[in-house]
């Protein structure tokens, strides 16, 4: 039986100082010593099923040792009280979290998500949030380590990964904040990408009162179809046999990318290495066919051309239903494609199917195909699918949801974010979700970030290193705060390239256009 806390599930540094301090009703007490308050915190806290392992004051610009096996140390940019805690989520599972409490706090609470199979506290974004004056919490998702082994024959750890770790760390984190600052949280936010994007969507559907504003990028929603599609895609290319006639080498991918740019880069009126609207790109690879049917770096065999046809078309089910969208042309420019199409069986699919779906460490993937997809979707262990379209309660509560997706994402195609938006709109019988839900498509960006020097992927979404310009138009984190607290919804997200140039990224339903050498949304 779950502890009572978890049965009751209802529940500037870089900022402009004026903007930050404008939270109505927040009184930030002036303590004689934040250091003393921090060290006293461990003895003051008595939280259900929770052990405060440590509470330590950390000076700014420090390097600290980290918990768990994922990394050995982390940077602390601003002065904080660092709280490390463990909570028993069931009799056979627990999750650990860190809460970083900045000296300068303006009533805001931030939860940061995980990536992949979780298992790692996101120290980069925890530092980001604390530096931006949020009391910031990050959990390990209910286990330690980057792989899926902790899920094997442990359904409770799987539940932690699916939804419970984020929820309980948010609930307990707010209680610690109230004790430390002698003031409750005024506004609660969430920031994550990939698995963190799935966690964002799960929070909005399952725990609509946890967060006032959510930023969830490149979401791994419809998770079982996603994992299955990744496995099927790796089989298309001959995994795990690098000598397979289907395998496409890295030099061949360079040739393919050059051909894709030749056909589609100029559709937006400028040759810049970025396909602004991949939906407008209709590919024809016949010019790449090897005339002598031999594999080489500059041409492709018939088997390899068939692979490209599969990759650049949606996955269709046995009844003709759309199962998963295609990869967008341009994805091949980003290094992330190697995780899916380099010749190994897809890591995400292998972990889920061996440790969760079949609970068989020696499961053979030679015949992995649509039947595996259908079975995993039917099973939907721990509700990991994260595919409910019902955001009605989140919307009724006044919640705001900002999501983004790279248009050159090599692991999770941007099409799934469009499908998600449309499903929510249909469920709510709305033609537009603009009053509470906005999706921004980031031209040229890969999975969660990156995309080269000409891509304006710096949007304040993943650590201090992703800040180009720190204001509400350029940062998704500041944009969600502005939307929640001032009622001003983001019309565009202005991304910044590593070289400092800007580009307007449009919300779903609009299109990017180059007008007088300036990117606008129409």
Q: Tell me which residues are annotated as active site.
A: 194, 409, 447
Question: Both tokens of residue 30?
Answer: 């002036």
Neighbour-count burial of 186, counting CB atoms closer than 10 A to its CB (0-12 exposed, 13-18 middle, 19+ buried): middle
Q: Taking the CB of residue 295, how many other CB atoms lie within 10 A of it? A: 15
Query: What are residue 289's DSSP bridge partners?
Result: 300
**Using CA atoms, how far apart are residues 42 and 53, in angstroms rounded to an integer?**
8
Asked whether 466 and 285 are in contact (CB, 8 A), the reply is no
- 8 A C-beta contact, residue 129 and residue 191: yes
Tokens of 212: 């006032």
For residue 147, give the 3-state DSSP assignment: coil
Burial class (CB in 10 A: 0-12, 13-18, 19+), 70: middle
Q: Are the beta carbons of 106 and 28 closer than 8 angstroms?
A: yes
- Distant-in-sequence, close-in-space partners of 105: CB < 8 Å, separation ≥ 6: 28, 133, 134, 135, 181
End-to-end CA, the chain: 54
Q: Which residues of 165-183 are buried (b: 16+ CB within 10 A; e: fewer)?
A: bbbbbbbbbbbbbeebbeb
Decide: residue 59, CB within 10 A, 0-12 exposed, 13-18 middle, 19+ buried.
Answer: exposed
Bridge partners of 405? 441
Calpha distance 354→344 (Å, rounded) = 15
**Residue 365 corresponds to which tokens in the numbers above?**
């993937």
Token pair, residue 384, equals: 């990991």
Cα separations (Å) of 489 from 107, 123, 437, 439? 21, 29, 9, 12
Residue 101, SS3 per DSSP: strand
400-406 vs 213-217, strand pairing mode? parallel
Please state, as a whole number, how many other Cβ atoms lie within 10 Å of the Cβ of residue 199.
31
HSE-up (13 A, CA, CB side) for residue 256: 25
Tell me how far apart the alpha carbons of residues 357 and 349 are, in angstroms, rounded to a whole number. Answer: 10
């Amino acid at each position: 039986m779950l502890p009572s806390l978890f049965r009751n599930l209802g529940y500037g540094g870089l900022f402009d100082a004026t903007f930050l301090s404008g939270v109505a009703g927040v009184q930030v007490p002036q303590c004689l010593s934040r250091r003393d308050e921090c060290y006293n915190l461990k003895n003051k806290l008595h939280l259900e099923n929770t052990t405060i392992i440590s509470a330590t004051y950390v000076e700014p610009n420090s390097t600290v040792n980290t918990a768990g096996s994922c990394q050995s140390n982390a940077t602390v940019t601003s002065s904080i009280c660092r709280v490390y805690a463990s909570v028993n989520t069931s009799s056979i599972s627990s999750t650990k979290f860190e809460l970083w409490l900045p000296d300068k706090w303006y009533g805001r609470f931030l939860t940061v998500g995980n990536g992949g199979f979780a298992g790692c506290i996101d120290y980069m974004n925890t530092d980001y949030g604390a530096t931006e004056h949020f009391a910031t919490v990050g959990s390990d998702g209910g286990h330690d380590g980057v792989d899926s082994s902790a899920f094997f024959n442990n359904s409770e750890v799987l539940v932690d990964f699916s939804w419970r770790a984020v929820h309980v760390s948010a609930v307990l984190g707010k209680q610690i904040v109230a004790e430390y600052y002698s003031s409750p949280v005024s506004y609660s936010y969430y920031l994550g990408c990939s698995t963190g994007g799935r966690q964002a969507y799960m929070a909005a559907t399952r725990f609509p009162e946890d967060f006032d504003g959510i930023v969830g990028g490149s979401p791994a929603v419809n998770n079982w179809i996603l994992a299955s599609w990744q496995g099927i895609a790796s089989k298309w290319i001959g995994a795990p046999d690098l000598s397979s006639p289907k395998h496409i080498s890295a030099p061949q991918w360079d040739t393919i990318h050059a051909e894709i740019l030749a056909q589609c880069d100029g559709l937006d009126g400028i040759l810049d290495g970025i396909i602004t609207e991949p939906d407008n790109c209709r590919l024809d690879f016949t010019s790449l066919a090897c005339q002598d049917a031999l594999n080489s770096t500059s041409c492709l065999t018939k088997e390899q051309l068939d692979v490209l046809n599969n990759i650049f078309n949606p996955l269709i089910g046995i009844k003709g239903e759309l199962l998963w969208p295609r990869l967008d042309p341009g994805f091949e420019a980003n290094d992330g494609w190697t995780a899916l199409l380099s010749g190994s069986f897809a890591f995400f699919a292998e972990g889920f199917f061996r440790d969760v779906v079949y609970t068989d460490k020696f499961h053979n993937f030679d015949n992995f195909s649509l039947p595996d997809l259908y079975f995993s979707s039917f099973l939907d262990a721990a509700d990991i699918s994260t595919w409910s379209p019902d955001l009605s309660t989140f919307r009724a509560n006044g919640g705001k949801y900002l999501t983004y997706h790279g248009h050159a994402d090599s692991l999770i195609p941007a099409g799934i974010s469009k499908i998600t938006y449309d499903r929510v709109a249909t469920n709510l019988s709305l033609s537009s979700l603009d009053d509470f839900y906005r999706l921004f498509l980031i031209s040229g960006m890969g999975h969660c970030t990156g995309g080269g020097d000409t891509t304006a992927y710096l949007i304040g979404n993943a650590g201090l290193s992703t800040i180009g310009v720190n204001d509400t138009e350029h940062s998704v984190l500041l944009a969600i705060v502005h939307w929640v607290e001032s009622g001003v919804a983001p019309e565009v997200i202005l991304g910044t390239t590593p070289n400092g140039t800007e580009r307007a990224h449009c919300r779903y339903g609009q299109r990017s256009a180059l007008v007088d050498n300036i990117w606008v949304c129409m």
